[in-house]
Amino acid sequence: MVQQLTTGERQNALVILVCIFVAGIAMAAAGGSDPLGMHGVLVLLFGGGLAALVMRSYYEPEPTQDRPSHYYDDPTKVGIALTLAWAIFGMFMGVWTAAQLAWPDLAFDAGWSTFGRLRPTHTTGVIFGFGGNALIATSFHVVQRTSRARLAGQVSPWFVLLGFNLFCLLAVTGYFMGVTQSKEYAEAEWYADLWLVVVWVTYFVLFLRTIARRKEPHIYVANWYFMAFIVVVAILHIVNNLAIPVSFGQAKSYTIWAGVQDSMVQWWYGHNAVAFFLTAGFLAMLYYYLPVRAQRPIFSYRLSILSFWGITFFYMWAGSHHLHYTALPHWVQNLGMTFSVMLLVPSWASAGNALLTLNGAWQKVRDDATLRFIFVAVVFYGLSTFEGSFLAIRPVNALSHYTDWTVGHVHAGALGWVAFITFGSIYTLVPSLWKRERMYSPALVEVHFWLAVAGTLIYVFSMWNSGILQGLMWRTYTQEGTLAYSFLDSLVAMYPYYIARAFGGLLFLLGAIVAAFNIWMTVRAVPAAVDRRADVPDTGLAPGAAATPAE
Amino acid sequence: MAELFHRKLERTAIGFVVAIIAAASVGGLVEIAPLFTIHTTVEEAPDMRLYTPLELAGRNIYVREGCYACHSQMIRTLRDEVERYGPYSLAVESKYDHPMLWGSKRTGPDLARIGGKYSDFWHVAHLTNPRSVVPESNMPAYSFLARTALETGDLGRHLRAQRSLGVPYTDAMIANAAGDAFGQAAPDSPFAAGVTERYGEKTQVSAFDGVVTQLTEMDALVAYLQVLGRLTDAAYSNTAAPEQAPNPTN
């Protein structure tokens, strides 16, 4: 980590870390016994610990003069390790909370372990911990290759990666203590949110400066998606999290939005966290790792343009479909429904573009589990975007809303699409990043694939069943015109599905553990590959071999 | 022609970012901004009350424990929901809710009109061990709430923060926040009278968890649950009929 930095850069890193350390002391002093004080201690340990790490290597030799002629991959490597750690944590919390719904005594009669506090540790752990680290790590890798330029910073990539993880840590440890704004997928409190703004702006500047250094005339389509992901998430995050803290010594804050306006802001954020975090960013991965792994160019450039701008424009209107039949004005609900249905066009354009890219490489899909991960991701992307448009239709939503069908839909996307494309990308990336001949065990990739497929299908089918059953029971009338079932009847009917869902989730978690082991062993035990092709940036000195997938 | 333009756009990073911001801003602006300017968005309700300090503290516990993850507070305009839970929710009912807690999932039932449906005693027993009251329930037990003293020293600051966001708390309410919290859960104490004086005659003053000597988090949460749906009667005088669920099997 530190060996790649010059003495001046090491000093800069130390200055930043000391600032974080001091901020931690200030938070601890201001917060006292409030959770804010506990978080102050966490921040000072984080800053102090990393500063000690830099100090330990401070007097090691500086990097050689030819540093600019290599890609900067250390942050990506650490990012992948963090991705896997968060995957296991986040999915474990998911299995635990799922099991609590079937066996409520698994909360052990304590406050920190109740479903309400654990649920955001799962959602934040997988969306931001697992998904976010995967996005940061792959974006650093992809933007360098597709621009044939080294990252435009030495310390800032570490600041972005580790700073983002500090945000995730603050968020997740806060939930155990009951620190939450209650905004779904934006539960973290005001100080963590402010910190994320600093990190995110740095990310944006770093990414844009790297693009500005590119040796290609055009910006590759994967980078369009990464840019949309970074820019729009910043807008969403800031608007949704505007809040007034009770005092600067307390974690608790009140959002400036109230009631119906807050509902619209929250779901404008919530649905576009799906759009720009869980879709745009991962489509960027798809547009790079799919052509690389399949060794085929993207099928259609025009379809890429259509789907990119369609997604960027339409998604932002769709959030109000989370509020059908509520106190939100009817016209907003209808706008949300209309745009949600139209969204199917750019979504399926993306999915179709990816599937047609695979045309001619189907034998590879059959033989190569890594490419099969990507293929299944595309299939689930197509299925869950169709399902999303369908559920956004008012009469359908009347049945599905508030039920497990929504949960099933989310997991069809999160497991089937997001996690599959991530693992497919990681399996593509790891051997080339660590310059290994191959993965440690192709058989274990195969095992992971089937665990993941089985887990996803069991999960999604059990939630489809329970959701539709629940929705129908709530609205069933007797001959006499009274409601046929009490709420409790509908809960009792859920138990078998809750058990099945927890089992499906467990299979998926086991797959992630297998992946972590396989990747660990690849780095540790697989012999280094003979360098077959130059994987270096175009510095203008030597003829650079482009590793860019054709458009 | 369109493609030619895009080839140009792809060559400039800043231009591309500006285009993304432009394309992505429209939807939010069109859907969110009018919610502040169109006055029919939130109904008039002159009888609308404010959360007392104890109820607000209870609401914060509801948020802290993530109750909204399993309980909605939004009865939709559908006939079966109205018959199950009561009149459908109006925007005005959450007018002072920072944040709103409409929820998105019903692992448990909707709570928008739970206030007054069960006794304080039932709520305490249920929160302490849900399965002692409802054997089939999968709700976590919250027995620690009755053992945890409620922090009241900073309630004035909470009210002041709410006021800065537009909730009309008065200076007297802010100055007496801690005393009012205590008084609402201790009906026979000298602090009780001030609560109804400041927050209205309809405010429920009672020994929520059954113990008047100590103010606990259980008192606060039960006080909040008992006020849900009772801040205004607007929903009961709203005459628009709910919709029939569009279901051919009805």
Each residue of A205-237: pLDDT tens digit? 999 999 999 999 999 999 999 999 999 999 999
Which pair of structure tokens corresponds to residue A326?
Answer: 């509520």
Question: Side-chain half-sphere of B217: how many Cα atoms within 13 Å?
Answer: 19
**Residues A180, A152 contacting (CB under 8 angstroms):** no
**Which of the four pLDDT bands, split at 50, 70 and 90, describes residue B250?**
very low
The per-residue pLDDT for range A269-326, each reduced to its tens digit, is: 999 998 999 999 999 999 999 999 999 999 999 999 999 999 999 999 999 999 999 9
Rounded distance between C-alpha atoms, residue A319 and residue A273, angstroms: 10
Interface contact A258-B76, CB threshold 8 A: no
**Which of the four pLDDT bands, split at 50, 70 and 90, describes residue B247?**
low
Considering CB atoms only, which of B74, B137, B154 is closest to A246? B154
**Residues B195, B180 contacting (CB under 8 angstroms):** yes
Query: How far off is chain B from A122, nearest CA to CA, in Å?
Result: 12
Residue of A200, A227, A325 to mutate, testing the B interface (most B Cβ within 10 Å of its Cβ) = A325
Interface contact B35-A107, CB threshold 8 A: no
Q: Residue A543: its pLDDT value, please?
A: 41
Residue A38 has pLDDT above 70, yes or no: yes
- Residue A198, chain B, CB below 8 Å: the answer is no
Which pair of structure tokens corresponds to residue A53?
Answer: 């790490």
**Which of the four pLDDT bands, split at 50, 70 and 90, describes residue A66?**
confident
The per-residue pLDDT for range A90-126, each reduced to its tens digit, is: 999 999 999 999 999 999 889 999 999 999 999 999 9
- Residue A43, chain B, CB below 8 Å: the answer is no
Q: Report CA A337 to chain centroid distance, whole Å.
A: 25
The type of residue at B202 is K
Q: Residue B2: its pLDDT value, please?
A: 60
Distances B117 to A245, A514, B44 between C-alpha atoms, Å = 34, 51, 26
**Residues B20, A236 contacting (CB under 8 angstroms):** no
Interface contact A101-B158, CB threshold 8 A: no
The per-residue pLDDT for range A247-282, each reduced to its tens digit, is: 999 999 999 999 999 999 999 999 999 899 999 999
Q: Residue A546: its pLDDT value, please?
A: 42
**Residues A84, A515 contacting (CB under 8 angstroms):** yes
**Residues A181, A235 contacting (CB under 8 angstroms):** no
Query: How far off is chain B from A345, nearest CA to CA, in Å?
Result: 17
In total, the C-beta contacts within 8 angstroms joining chain A to chain B are 276
The per-residue pLDDT for range A164-207, each reduced to its tens digit, is: 999 999 999 999 999 999 999 999 999 999 999 999 999 999 99
Question: Side-chain half-sphere of A520: how many Cα atoms within 13 Å?
Answer: 10
To 10 degrees, what angle do helices A156-177 and A115-124 make? 170
The type of residue at A450 is W
Q: Residue A545: its pLDDT value, please?
A: 40
- What is the enclosing helix (H) or strand (E) of A245? strand A243-245
Nearest to residue A346, comparing CAs of A370, A315, A321? A315
The per-residue pLDDT for range B189-208, each reduced to its tens digit, is: 999 999 999 999 999 999 99
What string of DSSP letters covers B175-237? HTHHHHHHHHT-TTSTTHHHHHHHH-TTS--S-TTS-SSS-BHHHHHHHHHHHTT-S-SHHHH
Q: Residue A530: its pLDDT value, please?
A: 73
Tell me the three-class secondary structure of A300-353, residue by residue. CHHHHHHHHHHHHHHHHHHHHHHHCCCCCCHHHHHHHHHHHHHCHHHHHHHHHH
Q: Residue A37: its pLDDT value, please?
A: 97
Interface contact A264-B65, CB threshold 8 A: no
The per-residue pLDDT for range B58-77, each reduced to its tens digit, is: 999 999 999 999 999 999 99
The type of residue at A209 is R
- Residue A407, chain B, CB below 8 Å: the answer is yes
Q: Residue A533: its pLDDT value, please?
A: 63
Residue B86 has pLDDT above 70, yes or no: yes
Nearest to residue A155, comparing CAs of A13, A24, A319? A13
* Lowest mean per-residue pLDDT among A425-434, B4-13, B79-88: B4-13
Contact residues for A473 (Cβ-Cβ < 8 A; gap 6+): A484, A485, A489, A490, A493
Residue of A103, A115, A211, A308 to mutate, testing the B interface (most B Cβ within 10 Å of its Cβ) = A115
Q: Residue A67: its pLDDT value, please?
A: 87
Interface contact B154-A483, CB threshold 8 A: no
* Lowest mean per-residue pLDDT among A72-86, A503-517, A523-537: A523-537
- A374-389: average pLDDT: 97
Give the percent of chain A with pLDDT over 70.
Answer: 97
Question: Side-chain half-sphere of A480: how many Cα atoms within 13 Å?
Answer: 3
The per-residue pLDDT for range A427-437, each reduced to its tens digit, is: 999 999 999 98
- Read off the pTM: 0.95
Q: Residue A3: its pLDDT value, please?
A: 86
Chain B residues with CB under 8 Å of A313 CB are 23-24, 26-27
Rounded distance between C-alpha atoms, residue A513 and residue A333, angstroms: 42
Distances A404 to A130, A268, A506, B205 between C-alpha atoms, Å = 23, 21, 18, 38
Query: How far off is chain B from A240, nearest CA to CA, in Å?
Result: 11
Residue A361 has pLDDT above 80, yes or no: yes
Rounded distance between C-alpha atoms, residue B142 and residue A381, angstroms: 40
Contact residues for A371 (Cβ-Cβ < 8 A; gap 6+): A293, A294, A358, A361, A364, A365, A424
Q: Residue A531: its pLDDT value, please?
A: 64
Residue of A491, A495, A497, A551 to mutate, testing the B interface (most B Cβ within 10 Å of its Cβ) = A491
- Residue A492, chain B, CB below 8 Å: the answer is yes
Which pair of structure tokens corresponds to residue B194?
Answer: 């001030």
Which pair of structure tokens corresponds to residue A206?
Answer: 């770093």
Could you check whether the bond before residue B130 is cis, i.e. omega within 30 degrees of 0? no
Closest residue in chain B to residue A335, using alpha carbons only: B31
Q: Residue A535: its pLDDT value, please?
A: 81
- A361-371: average pLDDT: 95
The type of residue at B203 is T
Query: How far off is chain B from A427, nearest CA to CA, in Å?
Result: 30
Rounded distance between C-alpha atoms, residue A352 and residue A330, angstroms: 34
Interface contact B140-A102, CB threshold 8 A: no
CA torsion sign for A13, A15, A16, A17 is: positive
**Residues A99, A502 contacting (CB under 8 angstroms):** yes
Q: What does DSSP assign to residue B109?
A: -
Rounded distance between C-alpha atoms, residue A282 and residue A289, angstroms: 10
Instruction: Give the mean pLDDT of chain B.
Output: 93
Beta bridge partners of A243: A255
Residue A271: phi and psi, rounded to 5, are: -75, -30
The per-residue pLDDT for range A119-155, each reduced to its tens digit, is: 999 999 999 999 999 999 999 999 999 999 999 999 9
- What is the enclosing helix (H) or strand (E) of B101? none
Range B205-229 burial, b when 16+ CB lie within 10 A, else e: bbebbeebeebbbbbbbbbbbbbbb
Rounded distance between C-alpha atoms, residue A99 and residue A115, angstroms: 10
- B28-34: average pLDDT: 93
Distances B4 to A228, A308, B7, B9, B187 between C-alpha atoms, Å = 21, 16, 5, 9, 77
3-state helix, strand, coil in chain B (%, to 5): 50, 0, 50
- Better pLDDT: A98 or B213: A98
Q: Residue A550: its pLDDT value, please?
A: 44
Q: Residue A525: its pLDDT value, please?
A: 86
Which pair of structure tokens corresponds to residue B212?
Answer: 């008047």
